[in-house]
Structures are given as C-alpha cells and as structure tokens.
C-alpha cells in the first residue's frame, strides 16, 4: 500500500508509536517502514516509466530515419515534386524537434523526481530520528520523575515518623511541582517543532 508525500508527512507528524515495557512497538515501526518502502517503490516505478518513454522516443527517431530513407527512394523512383519534398522535410524536421523536446522533458522530469525523492528521504529520516530521540528523552524524564516521586514519598514517611511532616509538607509539595514543571519543560524542548 503506497502513500503520498503529504500522507507520509502527516503520519510522521502525528505518529504515536505504542510503547512497551522495553521500548517502542516494533510492529508499528515495521508498518511505517513498509509504507515508506512502498512509497519509494512507487517512485522507482515512475522512473522506470520515464525510461520507457525515452525508449519510445528512440523508436520514433529510428522510424523518422526510416521515413527519410523511404522519402528519398520515393523522390528518386517516382519523381515527387519539390513542393511535396519540402513539405515532407518540414514534417520530418518538426517531428525531430518534437522528439528532442520530449526527450529533454523526460530527462528533466526524471532528474527532478530523483532529486525530490532524495530530499524527501533525507527529510523523513531526520524527522524520524528527531522524534525517536525526543520520545526517548521524554520516557527517561518520566522515569526520573517517577523515581523522584518515590524518593519524595519515602522522605515524607521518614519525616512523618520524626514529627516534622506538618511544617515541611507545603515545602515538599512546592518542590514536587517545580520538579514536574522542569521535567515537562525539558520534554517539550526536546520535541521537534511540528
């Protein structure tokens, strides 16, 4: 199943890979990679189609040459008038120009498609790496916040046992809010701009 560049860009921007205990869901990543491969296979088929167009242009050129030879034979054998000969020559020249223009256009389109495919491939790779890095950093910060929360609860229990919890409770809540706020700011800073 192939996807357009716009669909691929949209999916990468809204990509939500399921997390498991030890990382991301490999099936979701495999599915994304399969769609990327299919999209690039489609581009390859388009390039092949343009190559076939070039082959067809070569066939037109050969046919034109054969027509020139045939016209020369007819002029010699049947004494075709000069006016008809000029008309045929003009037609052959026009056909040659059209063939040259088609060949140039096919080459230009093939070059543009290759360049666009390369740029898109690099951009998608960079976006995927940035998103993966940001998600890993967010996971690390989430784990660190959980560990700090557990440590905070442990310290609260110890303070409660010492009879000091009442006076320090509001200070600890403030510290918890500050730690969570800093973790959220760091996670947002690591995410790529969308």
Calpha distance 167→185 (Å, rounded): 29
Residue-level pLDDT at 177: 74
Task: Supply the range of the domain harboring residue 154.
Answer: 5-190
Confidence of residue 178 (pLDDT cuts 50, 70, 90): confident
Confidence of residue 165 (pLDDT cuts 50, 70, 90): very low
**Tally of domains in the chain:** 1
Classify each residue of 38-57 as buried b or exposed e, where b means 16 or more C-beta atoms within 10 Å of its C-beta.
Answer: ebeeebeeeeeebeebeeeb
Answer yes or no: are the C-beta atoms of 89 and 75 closer than 8 Å.
Answer: no
Answer yes or no: are the C-beta atoms of 179 and 145 closer than 8 Å.
Answer: yes
- To the question of pTM greater than 0.75 for the whole model, the response is no
pLDDT at 72 over 70: yes
Question: What pLDDT, in 10s, does the model give residues 9-67?
Answer: 677 666 666 666 667 677 877 787 788 777 878 887 887 887 778 777 787 788 888 88
Question: CB-side exposure of 29: number of CA atoms within 13 Å?
Answer: 12
Calpha distance 158→185 (Å, rounded): 30
pLDDT at 89 over 70: yes
The arithmetic mean of pLDDT across residues 125-131, rounded, is 88
Spatial CA neighbour of 102 closest among 91, 112, 110, 90: 110
pLDDT at 193 over 50: yes
Nearest-10 crossing angle of helices 26-78, 82-162:
170
């Amino acid at each position: 199943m192939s996807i357009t560049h716009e669909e691929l860009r949209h999916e990468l921007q809204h990509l939500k890979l399921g997390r498991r205990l030890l990382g991301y869901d490999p099936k979701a990543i495999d599915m994304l990679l399969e769609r990327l491969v299919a999209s690039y296979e489609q581009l390859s088929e388009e390039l092949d189609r343009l190559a076939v167009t070039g082959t067809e242009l070569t066939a037109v050129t050969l046919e034109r040459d054969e027509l020139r030879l045939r016209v020369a034979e007819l002029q010699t054998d049947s004494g075709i008038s000069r006016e008809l000969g000029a008309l045929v020559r003009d037609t052959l020249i026009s056909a040659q120009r059209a063939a040259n223009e088609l060949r140039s256009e096919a080459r230009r389109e093939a070059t543009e498609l290759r360049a666009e495919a390369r740029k898109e491939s690099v951009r998608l790779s960079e976006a995927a790496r940035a998103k993966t890095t940001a998600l890993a950093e967010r996971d690390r910060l989430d784990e660190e916040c959980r560990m700090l929360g557990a440590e905070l609860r442990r310290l609260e229990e110890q303070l409660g046992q010492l009879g000091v919890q009442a006076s320090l409770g509001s200070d600890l809540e403030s510290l918890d809010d500050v730690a969570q706020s800093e973790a959220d700011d760091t996670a947002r800073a690591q995410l790529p701009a969308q």
